[in-house]
Amino acid sequence: MTDGARAATSPGQPPREAATHCPYCALQCGMVLRDSAGRVEVLPRDFPTNRGGLCQKGWTAAELLDHPERLTTPLLRGPDGRLRPATWAEAYDRIVTGIRGLQAAHGRDAVAIFGGGGLTNEKAYALGKFARVALRTRNIDYNGRFCMSSAAAAGMRAFGVDRGLPFPLADLGRADTLLLVGANPAETMPPLARYLTEQRERGGRLIVVDPRVTATARLADLHLQPLPGTDLAVANALLHLALTEGWVDREYVASRTEGFDAVRRIAAGWWPARAERLSGVPVADLEAAARALGTARNVIILTARGAEQHAKGVDTVSAFVNLALALGLPGRPGSGYGCLTGQGNGQGGREHGQKADQLPGYRKIDDPAAREHVAAVWGVNPDDLPGPGVSAYELLDSLGTPDGPKALLVFGSNPVVSAPRAARITGRLRDLDLLVVADFLLSETAELADVVLPTAQWAEEDGTMTNLEGRVLRRRALREPPPGVRTDLRILADLTTALTAPSALPALSAPSAEVVAGDPSYRFLPSRGPLQPPDTAADSADSADPRVVFAELRRASAGGLADYAGVTWERIDAADGVFWPCPDEDGPDSPRLFADRFATPNGRARFHPVEHRPAAEEVCDEYPLYLTTGRVLAQYQSGTQTRRVGALRRAAPGPFVELHPDLAARLGVEEGDELLVRSRRGELRAPARVTATIRPDTLFTPFHWGGDGRANSVTNDALDPVSRMPEFKVCAVRVEKVTP
């Protein structure tokens, strides 16, 4: 039973309320959900991240709770190739039979899991455990690989820990100089812009680096508009100027860092005119930016996907981290480097084990001590834990191939729309013997599934999320899921039991789905597997309880980098969230990191020498234009949810291709003309949007739509060598007008 459901539900009662957070982005705006006789209303809540603000996505989030397209029964693909409603027992039977058969024939790794950065901490944790313990497959990764992985890797190698913002968001409002690189929060997380307004009103300077004149760039005092894929050179040039102008904090570099000399020598080779020629950013603007960064007191440098979603994303972030370190920012109160996390639980989702190379607590799966610790919590032999798997794109690209997985279970993700080179990935998904998708709407990926499992929505479940500040928050349920719908945790618990208790399998067909759904006290199956020692309370049903899962997560994370051992739901309730690491229930949490030391073995931050290199695909005669991708305010990620909300659909009805008036004139294109954009990998069709806010050599298209206008039909699947991040943000294309 969920917390929220403890209130009475009969008519005539006062409205039930739940103080929770928005289901969408990593800002996790505080909101109150009020259920008045079945109608759910969103009210803003004064929370440190949003200060009472909400964007249109947040205001309309509850519309999906009772949406007519909501899935309320499992779907099975029949012999005729069509999805038809089925019972939970039938669905589980198909899944379990399929998994057993495929693992028996092809080994454990024949089954793979694909998770999401929107899942709660509890779900991310349970998914990782399910993969490693119930399936014993090494093949698990998640869509955060497409989101945060480059910043995570760069943060890890510089600071020894990866927390998006190592300081509270409120610091942004007090920064004297704020540099945003490839970040467009005015569009992607609008309430954050309140801090930008505050910063400006206090006289601070805002510098934005973006190839487009975005809503955020318009707020800036200085906008650097580089050619896509040249941010790294811009960063090295800024460091060059910091060196030649004497703005490097030599004392900080000497006492708190290591490896500066190698970086200094590379920066010496990036005199501003060289970066200017490559990026198109005038030397004078580079100088102005460097001066604002080098001479102000409180300085914050933030990167986001624009800098990170490249085949050199990690090195690009490292270049900005190097700049921050040279200026002595990280760890100085009011200053620092951070990245703006994208997905709702993009931070927590990357800490608890749904990443191919990770175990809970941000532990490494190939670290013997980490394996021992987590195996002990899980009650298994460390040797039985699988090793690291491959990254998201590589995993998707191997599906259905002779050596690749034959079955995939997808939770909280829609790779048909969100993966790069999406047409190829769609083909891979079709090649699977078994595709299972858990979602509450029929996403493009779910449309391909053999089994679709209807899941609960955010307002129907309890749990925790970790926002872009590393602040652990409470998601609180307002009401029960509709009949026929189960939570992801429940599904994982059910499948675990079914997979690990062979003798119980026949019972699968016994109770009807309706009975199961209607009786919250129903225990799907008795626990007989080796995973749940009979002397513990953690039987299969309890492992569907987010409180129980969180308690276990705390133990599993204890001693890890992302230590949640001291975080309790009560403590979160009492204090607007708890910042990790928080090892002791009675000890402090960590709003600010790095005051005294970094999380490296010797406590020093590490410079990392990085050189610019060209994009994986540069323009040529055949594909003479750059294409970059991104978001629009009224849509979120692959759009599965927001495209089904009326007001959002009206605000952003479909895909489009932005192009500069000069380019449009040369092509004879006018506003609204249908364009065909082709790359070496595929094509997309969408109407033209002619705007001077983009460089004449670059096109932009948003990635929220599937079908003909799918941005990722065109994007490049070249991967960063470290983070395995695909190069979403730049590829070479040509464009033509579609003649009707």
Partner 1 sequence: MTGRIVIIGYGMAGARLATELHARPGDHKVTVLGAEPHRAYNRILLSTLLAGKIDEADVELTDLAGQGADVQTGTAVTAIDRATRTVRTTTGEQIGYDHLVLATGSRAVVPPLAGLDPDQLPDRVVPFRTLDDCRRILAAARDARTVLVLGGGLLGLEAARGLAARGLDTHVVHPLGHLMERQLDPAAGAVLAETLAGLGVRTHLGVSATKVAANPDGVRLDLADGRSLDADLLVLACGVRPDTALAAAAGLAVERGVVVDDRLRTDDPHVSAIGDCAQHDGVVGGLVAPAWSQARVVARLLTGEDAHDRYRPPPGVTRLKAAGIDLAAMGELPPPGAGHAPSGDNGGPSARCEELTFADPARGTYARLRITGDRLTGAILLGDNPAVGTVIQLFDRGAPVPADRRALLLGRSVDGPVGGTEPAASPALMPDATTVCRCNAVSKADLVGCWRAGARSVAEVVTATRAGTGCGSCRDAVAGIVEWLSGVDPVEVTR
Sheet holding 471-475, edge to edge: 463-466, 471-475, 578-579
Query: From the CB of 307, what's the least distance to partner 1, in Å?
Result: 19
Number of Cβ within 10 Å of residue 512's Cβ equals: 13
For position 190 contacting partner 1 by CB under 8 A, the verdict is yes
- Which of 382, 400, 687, 696 is in the footprint of partner 1 by CB under 8 A? 696
Amino acid identity for residue 610 in this structure: V
Query: From the CB of 54, what's the least distance to partner 1, in Å?
Result: 6
Question: What is the β-pairing status of strands 257-258 and 605-606?
Answer: parallel
Which residue number, 62 or 192, has a Cβ lying nearer to partner 1?
192
| Gap between the Cα atoms of 121 and 98, Å rounded | 28
Query: From the CB of 693, what's the least distance to partner 1, in Å?
Result: 5
For position 288 contacting partner 1 by CB under 8 A, the verdict is no
Region of 55-63, 447-455, 473-481, 508-516 interacting with partner 1 (CB under 8 A): 55-63
For position 276 contacting partner 1 by CB under 8 A, the verdict is yes
Region of 7-15, 135-143, 275-283, 329-337 interacting with partner 1 (CB under 8 A): 275-283
Contacts to partner 1 from residues 603-642, by CB under 8 A? 609, 633-634
Query: From the CB of 620, what's the least distance to partner 1, in Å?
Result: 11
For position 215 contacting partner 1 by CB under 8 A, the verdict is yes
For position 510 contacting partner 1 by CB under 8 A, the verdict is no
For position 671 contacting partner 1 by CB under 8 A, the verdict is no
Region of 210-218, 353-361, 377-385, 525-533 interacting with partner 1 (CB under 8 A): 210-218
For position 192 contacting partner 1 by CB under 8 A, the verdict is yes
Residues 232-271: x where in contact with partner 1 by CB under 8 A, - otherwise, as a string: -----------xxxx--------------xx-xxx-xx-x
For position 667 contacting partner 1 by CB under 8 A, the verdict is no
Which residue number, 423 or 647, has a Cβ lying nearer to partner 1?
647
Which residue number, 171 or 357, has a Cβ lying nearer to partner 1?
171
For position 291 contacting partner 1 by CB under 8 A, the verdict is no
For position 194 contacting partner 1 by CB under 8 A, the verdict is yes
- Which of 19, 283, 504, 572 is in the footprint of partner 1 by CB under 8 A? 283
For position 173 contacting partner 1 by CB under 8 A, the verdict is no
Sheet holding 39-44, edge to edge: 16-21, 30-36, 39-44
Which residue number, 266 or 410, has a Cβ lying nearer to partner 1?
266
Contact at 8 Å (CB) between 441 and 638?
no
Nearest of 279, 284, 321 to residue 300 by alpha carbon: 321
If you search the block for the tokens 């794109």, which residue do you land on?
393
Contact at 8 Å (CB) between 140 and 427?
no
Region of 171-179, 325-333, 489-497, 661-669 interacting with partner 1 (CB under 8 A): 661-669
Residues 357-396: x where in contact with partner 1 by CB under 8 A, - otherwise, as a string: ----------------------------------------
Residues in the interface with partner 1 (CB under 8 A) total: 60
Query: From the CB of 39, what's the least distance to partner 1, in Å?
Result: 17
Query: From the CB of 152, what's the least distance to partner 1, in Å?
Result: 26
Buried/exposed code over 95-131 (b: 16+ C-beta within 10 A; e: otherwise) = bbebbeebbeebebbbbbbbbbbbbbbbbbbbbbbbb
Region of 13-21, 69-77, 213-221, 441-449 interacting with partner 1 (CB under 8 A): 213-221
Region of 64-72, 183-191, 462-470, 500-508 interacting with partner 1 (CB under 8 A): 183-191
Which residue number, 612 or 681, has a Cβ lying nearer to partner 1?
612
What is 254-323 written as a DSSP string?
HHHEE-HHHHHHHHHT--HHHHHHHH---HHHHHHHHHHHHH-SSEEEEE-HHHHSSTTHHHHHHHHHHH
If you search the block for the tokens 């009662």, which residue do you land on?
13
- Which of 227, 238, 299, 549 is in the footprint of partner 1 by CB under 8 A? 227
Amino acid identity for residue 516 in this structure: V
| Gap between the Cα atoms of 80 and 99, Å rounded | 22
Query: From the CB of 70, what's the least distance to partner 1, in Å?
Result: 24
3 state DSSP class of 223: strand
> Nearest 5°: phi and psi at 316?
-65, -45
3 state DSSP class of 104: helix
For position 272 contacting partner 1 by CB under 8 A, the verdict is yes
| Gap between the Cα atoms of 274 and 601, Å rounded | 37
Amino acid identity for residue 259 in this structure: G
**C-alpha to C-alpha distances, 342 to 27, 304, 579, nearest whole angstrom:** 8, 8, 18
- Which of 54, 152, 321, 711 is in the footprint of partner 1 by CB under 8 A? 54
Buried/exposed code over 692-707 (b: 16+ C-beta within 10 A; e: otherwise) = ebbbebbbbbbbbbbe
If you search the block for the tokens 């999401």, which residue do you land on?
116
Contact at 8 Å (CB) between 427 and 443?
no
For position 342 contacting partner 1 by CB under 8 A, the verdict is no
Which residue number, 537 or 620, has a Cβ lying nearer to partner 1?
620
Query: From the CB of 359, what's the least distance to partner 1, in Å?
Result: 34
Question: What is the β-pairing status of strands 140-142 and 177-181?
Answer: unpaired
- Which of 40, 89, 193, 233 is in the footprint of partner 1 by CB under 8 A? 193
Any idea what the Cα angle at residue 228 is, between residues 612 and 339, rounded to 5°?
75
Residue 486 bridge partners (DSSP)? 455
For position 55 contacting partner 1 by CB under 8 A, the verdict is yes
> Nearest 5°: phi and psi at 607?
-70, 150
**C-alpha to C-alpha distances, 98 to 127, 134, 693, nearest whole angstrom:** 19, 14, 51
- Which of 97, 398, 600, 691 is in the footprint of partner 1 by CB under 8 A? 691
Residues 310-329: x where in contact with partner 1 by CB under 8 A, - otherwise, as a string: --------------------
Residues 6+ apart with CB under 8 A from 573: 474
Which residue number, 151 or 266, has a Cβ lying nearer to partner 1?
266
Beta strands in 154-285 (DSSP E): 177-181, 205-209, 222-224, 257-258
Query: From the CB of 3, what's the least distance to partner 1, in Å?
Result: 27
- The number of helix segments (H) and strand segments (E) in the chain equals 24, 30
Nearest of 324, 85, 49 to residue 195 by alpha carbon: 49
For position 730 contacting partner 1 by CB under 8 A, the verdict is no
Region of 100-108, 188-196, 318-326, 463-471 interacting with partner 1 (CB under 8 A): 188-196
For position 665 contacting partner 1 by CB under 8 A, the verdict is yes
Question: What is the β-pairing status of strands 299-303 and 177-181?
Answer: parallel
Query: From the CB of 477, what's the least distance to partner 1, in Å?
Result: 25
Kindly list the residues in this chain that would bind partner 1 in the complex (CB under 8 A): 44, 52-56, 59, 186-187, 190-194, 196-197, 213, 215, 218-219, 227, 243-246, 261-262, 264-266, 268-269, 271-274, 276-277, 279-285, 609, 633-634, 647, 650-651, 661-662, 665-666, 691-693, 696-697
